[in-house]
Amino acid sequence: MTQSKSEVLQGTLDLLVLKTLESLGPMHGWGVARRIQQVSEDALQLSQGTIYPALLRLEQRGWISPEWGTSENNRKVRFYTITKAGRRQLREETESWERMMAIINRVLEGA
């Protein structure tokens, strides 16, 4: 794996997964990973070793909820949906992320 496709920060991964589920509706694990990879234009490679523990963590916290569904190739698989608490969390996380980015930008621009 090259440097540019490196690991995602823990906190931001949650943010990315939640955002993906919010904008695209219920998805299975592979779909989420694929989608993030696509949107980031392959800059972010999510191995299953990253995505599944993350999904489990979000489920434990009650931010997403799993459901059995049928995939596009007709297989039974778990689809994840963002919950109300998950949306709230996403909103908060996004805000704090943006705040953080603004601060870092200011610092980098060397005010």
Partner 1 sequence: MLASIRAFFWRILHLNGLKKSEAMLDGELEFHLQMETEQNLRQGMNHVEARRRALIAIGGMEQTKEACREMRGIRFLDEFQQDMRYAGRMLRRNPGFTFVTILTLALGIGANAAVFSVVNAVLLRPLPYENPGSLVMIYQKDLKRGTTQNVSYFNFYNWRATGRDFEDMAAYSPGSFVYEQSGAKEIIPGASISGTFFSTLSIHAARGRTILASDEKSGAPPVAVISDRFWRERLGSDPSAIGRDLELGGKRYTIAGVLPRDFRPVLPGLLNRELGVDLPQLWVSLSPERRSLTDATSWLRVVGRTRPGVHFDRVRAEMDSIATRLAEENRGPFGVAKSGVTVVPLREEILGKVEDPMKLLLGAVGLVLLIACANVANLFFARALGREKEFAVRALAGANRMRLLRQQLTESGLLALIAGGIGFAVVRWGIDLIAAACPRTIPRTDEINVDIRVFAFALVLSVLTGILFGLAPAIRATRLDLNSALKRAYADGGKPRSLYRSALMVSELSLALVLAAGAGLLINSFVRLMTIDPGFQRKNLLIFQLSLSPGSEGQASPVQDVLRQINALPGVVSSCTVGSLPLTGEAGWSSLRTKGLLEQAPPVGLGDTIDEVDNARVSSGYFRTMGIPILRGRTFTEAQGDGASELIVSESLAHLLWPGEEPIGKRLHLGDRSHPWIPVVGVARDVRQHGLQQAPRLTLYKLHQGGSYLSLIVQVRSDSTKLIPEIRSRILSVDKTALIRRTQRVEDILWDSVDQPRFYSMLVGIFAVLGTLLAAVGVYGIVSFSVGLRRREIGIRVALGARPRELVRMVLSQLMKSAAFGLCAGLLLSLIFTRFLASLLFGIGPQDTPTLIVVTTVMALVSALSGFLPAVRAAKADPIESLRSE
- Contact assessment for residue 42 and residue 68, using Cβ atoms and an 8 Å cutoff: no
By CB under 8 A, residue 38 contacts partner 1: no
Cβ proximity to partner 1: between 22 and 59 the closer is 59
Residue 78's beta-bridge partner residues?
A: 68
- DSSP tally for the chain: helices H, then strands E: 4, 3
Per CB under 8 A, the list member of 78, 81, 87, 94 interacting with partner 1 is 78
Kindly state the smallest distance separating residue 53's Cβ from partner 1, in Å.
4
Choose between 78 and 87: whose C-beta lies nearer to partner 1: 78
**Residues 42 and 56 sit within 8 Å (Cβ to Cβ):** no
Among 18, 28, 82, 90, binds partner 1 (CB under 8 A): 28
Is residue 56 within the footprint of partner 1 (CB under 8 A)?
A: yes
Specify the stretch interacting with partner 1 by CB under 8 A; choose among 15-23, 26-34, 93-101, 102-110: 26-34
In the complex, the smallest distance separating the C-beta of residue 25 from partner 1, rounded to whole angstroms, is: 18
What is the C-alpha separation between 105 and 29, in angstroms, rounded? Answer: 33
* Distance (Å, whole) CA 28 – CA 66: 9
Strand partners, 67: 79
75, 84, 107, 108: residue in contact with partner 1 (rule CB under 8 A): 75
